[in-house]
Amino acid sequence: MREIEAVVIERAGAEPAVERLGLDDPHPGEVRVRMSASGVCHSDLHVREGHWERPGPIVMGHEGAGVVEAVGDGIDPRLVGRQVALSWYAPCLRCRECQQGRQWLCTGSPSLRHRQADGTTRLVRRDGTPVLAYLSIGTMASAQVVPVSAVVPMPEGVPSQVAALIGCAVSTGVGAVVNTARIHAGSTVAVIGLGGVGLSCVMGAALAGARRIIAVDLKRAKIDLAGELGATHWVQVDPDNPQGTVDGIRAATGDHGPDFVFEAIGLRATIEQAIEVLPPGGTAVLVGLTRFEERVSLEAFPFVDGGRRVLGSNYGSTVAAVDFPRYAEAYLAGRLPIDRLVGRRIRLADVESAFDHLRTGDIARQVILFDE
């Protein structure tokens, strides 16, 4: 048993608090990771606000990186000391989807139960109450025990903040472009919503050789950052004029409409705009997660008549063991400037201020740093 510090939320919608918890040793199939960095993602805000029901008490966070401290029985001890990025969806590697290489759709993963594979948790309060770990990795903690299939060793020289962001925002956004949509070089692309995820869509589109990249957001600062990451055109949204967004995107493509639109917010209005702006043959890729039970509508005739497509992209169709090192190497080669997403660095105790910034959308990614 080791003592750790972690951000714990009693139930979805409650105020989080930093607590001292006991962390058990890793069981077979698990590793203990000393955390170096944890990003704060809009999905964490969904839990904080109570939009998504979650069991509790639970350690928050699902975008992290650290160094392996100990391994359970049967795991290669050479993993100890390696820097790893954490995947928030630990594949079972045995189900039909995993065997087909579609690990992001794994049906045997413990992650959505927020426990280890055997259904228990390694975290406990002083009074003996078990504490869950969000998506089995609960990264807002100085250390965690996680399933071994959630850890991916990083190449030498990757900063911990970059490794952390590969765990969610980068894989979700870049993967939507290169895995889910598989855009071709020379495509025209629009990205609606420029948080960590949308800005990663912009970087992915640049990496894949898009001809035009139209960055769309409410905030001018986000648009400017998108420009530094490869966006060629922009539309600043006026929330009172949704048609203006559609017209602006169309105008930026020479009135044709973009080949691909990535919606990276998860709002009905922007999802409907993403579909509406498509030209015949165009594809809307829905990346942002909505509130549960949200519905959207589209005009059916032109959708069918024009051969348009809508794709759902969960976690950028990521196979962490393959994609994480790919993104890390692209970063090291200067082709994926992931570090530019980090707009604010904080300590564990300041997590509430990070949620305040997420509500206003003024900073790209905020990262919690732990003592190295």
Footprint on this chain of ligand APR (rule: CB under 6 A): 41-43, 46, 172, 192-198, 216-219, 222, 237, 239, 264-267, 270, 287-289, 358, 361
Q: Considering CB distances under 5 to 8 angstroms, the limit depending on partner class, which of ligand APR, Zn ion, none binds residue 266?
A: ligand APR
Q: Considering CB distances under 5 to 8 angstroms, the limit depending on partner class, which of Zn ion, ligand APR, none binds residue 237?
A: ligand APR
Q: Which amino acid is at 118?
A: D
- Indicate the residue among 8 and 358 with the shorter CB distance to ligand APR: 358
CA-to-CA distance for 289 and 43, rounded, in angstroms?
8
Q: Considering CB distances under 5 to 8 angstroms, the limit depending on partner class, which of ligand APR, Zn ion, none binds residue 79?
A: none
Contacts of 251 (CB under 8 A, 6+ apart): none
- Indicate the residue among 124 and 346 with the shorter CB distance to Zn ion: 346
CA-to-CA distance for 327 and 248, rounded, in angstroms?
31
Q: Is 368 among the residues that bind Zn ion (CB under 5 A)?
A: no
- Indicate the residue among 35 and 223 with the shorter CB distance to ligand APR: 223
**Span interacting with Zn ion, options 43-51, 228-236, 241-249, 302-310, rule CB under 5 A:** 43-51
Q: Considering CB distances under 5 to 8 angstroms, the limit depending on partner class, which of Zn ion, ligand APR, none binds residue 195?
A: ligand APR
| Token duo for residue 323 | 């994609």
Cα separation values, 135 from 140, 142, 210, 248, Å: 12, 16, 33, 38
Q: Is 354 among the residues that bind Zn ion (CB under 5 A)?
A: no
Q: Considering CB distances under 5 to 8 angstroms, the limit depending on partner class, which of Zn ion, ligand APR, none binds residue 38?
A: none
Q: Is 318 among the residues that bind Zn ion (CB under 5 A)?
A: no
Cis peptide before 57 (omega within 30 of 0): yes
Q: Considering CB distances under 5 to 8 angstroms, the limit depending on partner class, which of Zn ion, ligand APR, none binds residue 264?
A: ligand APR
Q: Is 41 among the residues that bind Zn ion (CB under 5 A)?
A: yes
- Indicate the residue among 121 and 318 with the shorter CB distance to ligand APR: 318
Contacts of 334 (CB under 8 A, 6+ apart): none
CA-to-CA distance for 38 and 32, rounded, in angstroms?
15
- Indicate the residue among 12 and 124 with the shorter CB distance to Zn ion: 12
Least spacing, CB of residue 186 vs Zn ion, in Å: 30
Q: Considering CB distances under 5 to 8 angstroms, the limit depending on partner class, which of ligand APR, Zn ion, none binds residue 98?
A: none
- Indicate the residue among 50 and 209 with the shorter CB distance to Zn ion: 50
CA-to-CA distance for 104 and 98, rounded, in angstroms?
8
Query: Using CB atoms within 10 A of its CB, is residue 126 exposed (0-12), middle (13-18) or buried (19+)?
Result: exposed
Instruction: Give all strands of the β-sheet with 212-217 in edge-to-edge order.
Output: 233-236, 212-217, 188-192, 260-263, 283-286, 309-312
- Indicate the residue among 41 and 70 with the shorter CB distance to Zn ion: 41
Q: Is 103 among the residues that bind Zn ion (CB under 5 A)?
A: no
> 């069918």: which residue's tokens?
304
CA-to-CA distance for 132 and 62, rounded, in angstroms?
13
- Indicate the residue among 29 and 167 with the shorter CB distance to ligand APR: 167
Q: Are 57 and 134 contacting, i.e. CB atoms less than 8 angstroms apart?
A: no
**Span interacting with Zn ion, options 42-50, 202-210, 225-233, 238-246, rule CB under 5 A:** 42-50
Shortest CA distance to 201 belongs to which of 219, 189, 211, 212?
Answer: 189
| Token duo for residue 321 | 């063991």
Residues that bind Zn ion (CB under 5 A): 41, 43, 168
